[in-house]
């Protein structure tokens, strides 16, 4: 794809973009002057699809109309409500329907999965994670290790970028697996690293780690709805993701969880159980003999928050209307390549980019470091915000920008680079 630096080029790309019409189906926050913000934080909180709002209202109305009977009545009864979202979840992450469920929130699911998949035994007690893991993942792993009466200092192994580098290097992972392979019980790594935007090669990581007898889990917070995934075929053991980033389902909305078919029927796995994980046929017999549903649904605890699931259903329906994750990814590759092109053309050596630029190793997000001596990156971030650009700032010195295919335009990207250039001049 050949890009040009003019605004006319950006506008022409928007005109030819088959996904352009979807922007109008979202609520775009406004600047003080009444114009749309240039919103680039879909990696942190995705914008509201009108459909999500409609579906939530529909559930509020059903609650008014039916009271408790809403569990079984109405077009979308609450009893099986989570099942209305199963197929689309499976398509999104490359899973079988039995392997996915919407429940709880992301960090809670990481814990529930570790209850089942972190079983320290003998010499095999360690968990491998990345050095710059998202704090919640780090705390979850640390506390799981403590919960087993083990010392986190001795049992957390970190895959870290080399001195002076930002990205994770696979040779280093291989070396860790070589050296500690038979001491590692489980690994927890991101699909897309939240700080650098690096996409990890989940297929190869899974293959090499499982060959060493390690259980493999991924945190897909920044991957779900962003890149294509094949969790079943890659033979990932478990994965968790939130629905409020690239999945546009609202702040703190219910999270997704994947358990590979290989494990769904294994009743020997530890689990923290609740009544909603109990076999559907006999759940209401209330006999207090737990019989797990033989799918990922067997890990559910509670009857789910329907209002939140309704928002997810709206968002997933919209993604489906847009052609699914494949179509999203297709536009995203182009949109982010365009952002990269403009940054290189217009800002050259004033900035550096942490994110790898080959397609396989990046999603929507580009992480930018400012290189101008004595220039305060955080002040720059605030300046562009005053001009209508919403990005996010991550300590110590990164501005993360994530144009997302469903509602960002090529003109958004053009305006962002123009404003950034003005502020750096
Ligand atoms: C966003 C994010 C979280 C947030 O966790 P919640 O439990 O949803 O608050 C956790 N881990 C990663 C990697 C994230 O990107």
Q: For position 73, which CATH number holds? A: 3.40.640.10
Q: Whole-number mean pLDDT of the chain? A: 96
User: How far apart (Å, rounded) are the C-alpha atoms in residues 213 and 367?
Assistant: 34
Supply the range of the domain harboring residue 369. Answer: 7-36+324-424
User: What's this model's pTM, rounded to 2 decimal places?
Assistant: 0.97
- pLDDT, mean of residues 222-226: 98
Inside any domain, residue 47 = no
Burial label for 337, CB within 10 Å (0-12, 13-18, 19+), is middle
89 and 213 together in one domain: yes
Residue 60: is its pLDDT beyond 80?
Answer: yes
Neighbours of 163 (CB within 10 A): 5
pLDDT at residue 371 in the model: 77
Q: What tokens appear for 199 in the block?
A: 């996409």
**How would you classify the pairing of strands 48-49 and 126-130?**
unpaired
Boundary residue ending a domain (285, 305, 321): 321
User: How far apart (Å, rounded) are the C-alpha atoms in residues 78 and 139?
Assistant: 34
Boundary residue ending a domain (321, 339, 372): 321
Boundary residue ending a domain (289, 321, 353): 321
Mutate to test the pocket of ligand 1, among 104, 109, 194, 250 (most ligand atoms within 8 A of CB): 194
220 and 368 together in one domain: no
Residue 425: is its pLDDT beyond 90?
Answer: no
277 and 222 together in one domain: yes
Pocket flag, ligand 1, residue 194 (CB < 6 Å): yes
Pocket flag, ligand 1, residue 137 (CB < 6 Å): yes
Residue 373: is its pLDDT beyond 80?
Answer: no
* CA angle 115–313–92, rounded 5-degree value: 60
What are 258's strand-pairing partners? 100, 239
User: CB–CB of 213/182 below 8 Å?
Assistant: yes
291 and 341 together in one domain: no
19 and 153 together in one domain: no
Inside any domain, residue 11 = yes
Inside any domain, residue 44 = no
pLDDT at residue 280 in the model: 87
**Dihedral (CA of 22, 24, 27, 32) sign:** positive
User: How far apart (Å, rounded) are the C-alpha atoms in residues 315 and 296?
Assistant: 22
Pocket flag, ligand 1, residue 221 (CB < 6 Å): yes
277: Cα within 13 Å, side-chain hemisphere: 21
Per the structure, the count of domains in the chain is 2
Inside any domain, residue 2 = no
Inside any domain, residue 52 = no
Burial label for 386, CB within 10 Å (0-12, 13-18, 19+), is exposed
């Amino acid at each position: 794809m050949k890009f040009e630096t003019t605004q006319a080029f950006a506008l022409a790309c928007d005109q030819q973009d088959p996904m352009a019409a979807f922007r109008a189906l979202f609520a775009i926050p406004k600047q003080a002057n009444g114009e749309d913000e240039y919103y680039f934080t879909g990696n942190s909180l995705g914008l509201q699809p009108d459909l999500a709002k409609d579906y939530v209202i529909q559930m509020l109305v059903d609650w008014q109309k039916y009271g408790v009977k809403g569990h079984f009545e109405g077009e979308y009864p609450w009893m099986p409500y989570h099942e209305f979202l199963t197929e689309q979840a499976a398509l999104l992450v490359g899973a079988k329907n039995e392997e996915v469920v919407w429940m709880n929130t992301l960090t809670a699911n990481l814990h529930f999965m570790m209850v089942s998949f972190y079983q320290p035994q003998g010499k095999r007690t360690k968990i491998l994670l990345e050095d710059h893991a998202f704090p919640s993942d780090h705390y979850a792993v640390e506390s799981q290790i403590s919960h087993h009466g083990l010392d986190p200092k001795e049992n957390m192994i970190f895959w870290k970028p080399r001195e002076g580098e930002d990205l994770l290097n696979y040779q280093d992972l291989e070396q860790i697996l070589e050296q500690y392979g038979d001491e590692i019980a489980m690994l927890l790594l991101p699909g897309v690293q939240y700080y650098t935007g690096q996409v990890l090669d989940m297929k190869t990581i899974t293959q090499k780690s499982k060959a060493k007898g390690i259980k493999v889990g991924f945190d897909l917070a920044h991957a779900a709805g962003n890149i294509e995934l094949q969790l079943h075929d890659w033979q990932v053991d478990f994965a968790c993701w939130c629905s409020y980033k690239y999945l546009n389902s609202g702040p703190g909305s219910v999270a997704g969880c994947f358990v590979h078919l290989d494990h769904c029927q294994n009743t020997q796995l530890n689990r923290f159980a609740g009544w909603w994980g109990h076999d559907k046929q006999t759940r209401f017999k209330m006999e207090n003999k737990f019989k797990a549903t033989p799918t990922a649904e067997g890990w559910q605890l509670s009857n789910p928050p329907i209002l939140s699931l309704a928002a997810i259903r709206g968002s997933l329906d919209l993604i489906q209307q847009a052609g699914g994750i494949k179509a999203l990814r297709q536009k995203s590759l182009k949109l982010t390549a365009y952002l990269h092109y403009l940054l290189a053309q217009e800002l050259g050596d004033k900035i550096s980019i942490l994110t790898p630029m080959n397609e396989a190793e990046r999603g929507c997000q580009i992480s930018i470091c400012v290189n101008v001596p004595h220039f305060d990156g955080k002040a720059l971030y605030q300046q562009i915000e005053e001009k209508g650009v919403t990005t996010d700032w991550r300590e110590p010195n990164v501005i993360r920008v994530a144009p997302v295919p469903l509602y960002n335009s090529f003109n958004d990207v053009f305006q962002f680079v123009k404003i950034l250039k003005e502020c750096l001049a």
